[in-house]
């Protein structure tokens, strides 16, 4: 992935999400790169955004289209595990809608048409931390270290061959449509 092009895309995305007053943050490997490396990781394949504003998906989509993004795919249902991905300048960005359930927030991702569930402590997303990142302001879960532990375990260790559908600590296997052994 071209980190300069990814940076340009993230700047546009952050502006759109802020203009729409969305509750959003850098998600997954993009958050990890921001915290651990103060940049985009060389071995990352895409960028990731988390948000809770399922009611703003269509407004977000219209603005992304106006800014040169193309929809690659969308999975799930808006009310239950929606993920949508866009491409611009040859760089893909995944958007994950998070849903509240008791004291957790969860999102889905899809592997071979099957839904995987990822769960986190809800309080990580209530008071997001605003950071300066690559020339723009972005949000990250707060405290970021706890979020990264919940997702990755030992997040300080660089792992270049990461299986997003098998390796995260936050996958709720009992709820998911796949077993770890099936991946």
Domains within the chain, CATH numbers bracketed:
3-99+124-157 (3.30.460.40)
Evaluate whether 150 touches 136 at the Cβ level (below 8 Å): no
Q: Say whether pLDDT at 67 is over 70.
A: yes
- Give the per-residue pLDDT at 54: 95
Q: Return left, alpha or beta for 113; rule: phi > 0 is left, psi -120 to 50 is alpha, else beta.
A: left
The pTM (predicted TM-score) of the whole model is 0.92
Regarding predicted confidence, which is higher, 107 or 162?
Answer: 107
- Give the per-residue pLDDT at 173: 67
Q: Say whether pLDDT at 33 is over 70.
A: yes
The mean per-residue pLDDT over the stretch 68-80 comes to 92
Q: Say whether pLDDT at 179 is over 90.
A: no
Evaluate whether 116 touches 108 at the Cβ level (below 8 Å): yes
Task: Render pLDDT for 111-127 as a digit per residue (tens, 0 to 9).
Answer: 788 788 889 999 999 99
Angle at alpha carbon of residue 171, lines to 94 and 177, rounded to 5°: 90
Name the residue among 75, 42, 33, 43 with its Cα closest to residue 57: 75
- Give the per-residue pLDDT at 80: 85
Task: Render pLDDT for 35-66 as a digit per residue (tens, 0 to 9).
Answer: 999 999 988 889 999 999 999 999 999 999 99
């Amino acid at each position: 992935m071209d980190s300069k092009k990814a940076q340009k895309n993230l700047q546009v995305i952050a502006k759109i999400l802020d203009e729409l007053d969305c509750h959003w943050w850098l998600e997954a490997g993009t958050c990890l790169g921001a915290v651990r490396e103060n940049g985009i990781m060389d071995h990352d394949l895409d960028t990731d955004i988390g948000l809770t504003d399922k009611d703003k998906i269509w407004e977000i989509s219209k603005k992304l289209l106006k800014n040169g993004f193309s929809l690659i795919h969308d999975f799930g249902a808006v009310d239950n595990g929606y993920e949508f991905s866009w491409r611009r300048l040859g760089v893909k960005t995944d958007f994950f809608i998070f849903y509240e359930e008791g004291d957790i927030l969860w999102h889905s991702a899809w592997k071979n048409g099957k839904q995987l569930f990822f769960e986190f402590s809800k309080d990580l997303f209530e008071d997001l931390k605003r950071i300066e990142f690559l020339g723009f302001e972005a949000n990250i879960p707060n405290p970021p270290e706890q979020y990264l532990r919940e997702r990755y375990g030992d997040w300080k260790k660089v792992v270049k061959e990461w299986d997003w559908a098998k390796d995260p600590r936050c996958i709720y296997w009992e709820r998911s449509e796949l077993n770890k052994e099936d991946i």
